[in-house]
Amino acid sequence: MEPAARPLAPTYQERRWELPPDAVVHHGTVDDAARVLAGRTFTVLTGAGISTDSGIPDYRSPDSPPRNPMTYQQFVGDAGFRRHYWARNHVGWQHVDRTHPNAGHRTLAELEQRGIVRGVITQNVDLLHEDAGSRVVIDLHGRYDRVICLQCGRVISRTHLAERLDALNPGFVESVLDGGTTVADIEVAPDADAVIAKTSHFNPADCEFCGGVLKPEIVYFGENVPRERVDRAFALVESADALLVAGTSLTVMSGLRFVRRAAKNGQPIVIVNRGETRGDPLATVKVDAGATETLVGLATRL
């Protein structure tokens, strides 16, 4: 009589991602999230919700007003759209430039220093993760402080462009902020685009080297994230044991693809966001709460 066949031992991947039977919690708490992430390294994917406590509004939280961000096609195809954008940005970028990291940003930097966080993939362009001290940061959608020429490829600082725009439009910012209004009183979108109605008299600047069209080094709606950047982000996801998502509704595929990759790999996924996200069905734990408070709570438990 042949001996009974021995059950196959779990593979390395199966052992690596094994979770307790009660680990799937779609209306979870900070404790649930900590239980899943404890003893694991994780990569963090962040969105606008992590920067709201720094004074930068988001796009899609339950309390956010309707927004119609400019598309790449509008920007490159219509000089009127470009003028309108640069007028608004010339006011709005100053608000973003004055913001500071909050406790959520600082917590992620601390967890990286402790060897728990592998790195951050952020959909934000505000550079607050870098300002907080995070060293491994992939700015998926670019950064607000640089401008690129679409013709010659030269990159200049937003500060330098501000000096040129001030010279071309003397008194413009002051006219927008008359009556004691400050930049902080004007509605500003996450991409540093201030809501200003009258912009027809604004004079945008062309590239001072070749006369080409200048564009913020930000990925617009309808524009693709550079492939090399996406590949680095995928590699960062796969270098960790788990994925933590904080402050994003994952409405666009740009961020959702990393959640899908982690799910395909069998990695635990913790999502922290106010309101539903497109990644909720893939989450191991979903915490419906603010990013800052939850991240601080997690850090004390890990």
Is 165 in the same domain as 260? Answer: no
Per-residue pLDDT for 287 more than 80?
A: yes
What pLDDT digit, counting tens, does each position of 31-48 carry? 999 999 999 999 999 999
Is 156 in the same domain as 274? Answer: no
Mean pLDDT of the chain: 85
Burial of 261 (0-12, 13-18, 19+ CB in 10 A): middle
Per-residue pLDDT for 179 more than 80?
A: no
Q: Domain of residue 287: give its range.
A: 12-53+101-141+225-301
Evaluate whether residue 4 is within a structural domain.
Answer: no
Is 76 known as a binding-site position? no
Higher pLDDT, 122 or 176: 122
Phi, psi of 74 (to 5 degrees): -65, -45
Is 93 in the same domain as 105? Answer: no
What pLDDT digit, counting tens, does each position of 69-125 carry? 778 998 999 998 898 889 888 888 877 888 999 999 999 999 999 999 999 999 999
Evaluate whether residue 60 is within a structural domain.
Answer: no
Count of domains for the chain: 2
How many other CB atoms sit within 10 Å of the CB of residue 27? Answer: 9
The rounded radius of gyration (Å) of the Cα atoms in the chain is 22
pLDDT at 85: 87
Which residue reads 């593979």 in tokens? 11
Which residues are designated catalytic? 141
Burial of 132 (0-12, 13-18, 19+ CB in 10 A): buried
Higher pLDDT, 58 or 188: 58
Is 87 known as a binding-site position? no
pLDDT at 30: 96
Higher pLDDT, 42 or 9: 42
Last residue of a domain, one of 218, 242, 274: 218
Token output for 295: 């991240």
Token output for 291: 């990013």
Evaluate whether residue 3 is within a structural domain.
Answer: no
Assign 45 to helix, strand or coil: strand
Is 212 in the same domain as 284? Answer: no
Is 85 in the same domain as 185? Answer: yes
Token output for 230: 């996406």
Is 25 in the same domain as 149? Answer: no
Report the C-alpha gap between 117 and 114 in whole angstroms: 8
Last residue of a domain, one of 218, 233, 265: 218
Assign 212 to helix, strand or coil: coil
Evaluate whether residue 249 is within a structural domain.
Answer: yes
132-144 mean pLDDT:
97
Domain containing residue 128: CATH number: 3.40.50.1220
Last residue of a domain, one of 177, 197, 218: 218
What pLDDT digit, counting tens, does each position of 223-276 carry? 999 999 999 999 999 999 999 999 999 999 999 999 999 999 999 999 999 999
Is 207 known as a binding-site position? yes
Q: How do strand 242-246 and strand 42-46 relate by DSSP bridges?
A: parallel
Q: Are 239 and 155 in contact (CB under 8 A)?
A: no
Is 210 known as a binding-site position? yes
Q: Which residues of 72-104 are buried (b: 16+ CB within 10 A; e: fewer)?
A: eebbbeeeeebbbbbbbbbbbbbbbbebebbbb
pLDDT at 198: 65
Is 256 in the same domain as 131? Answer: yes
Closest by CA position to 113, among listed 257, 248, 278, 302: 302
Evaluate whether residue 7 is within a structural domain.
Answer: no
How many other CB atoms sit within 10 Å of the CB of residue 16? Answer: 13
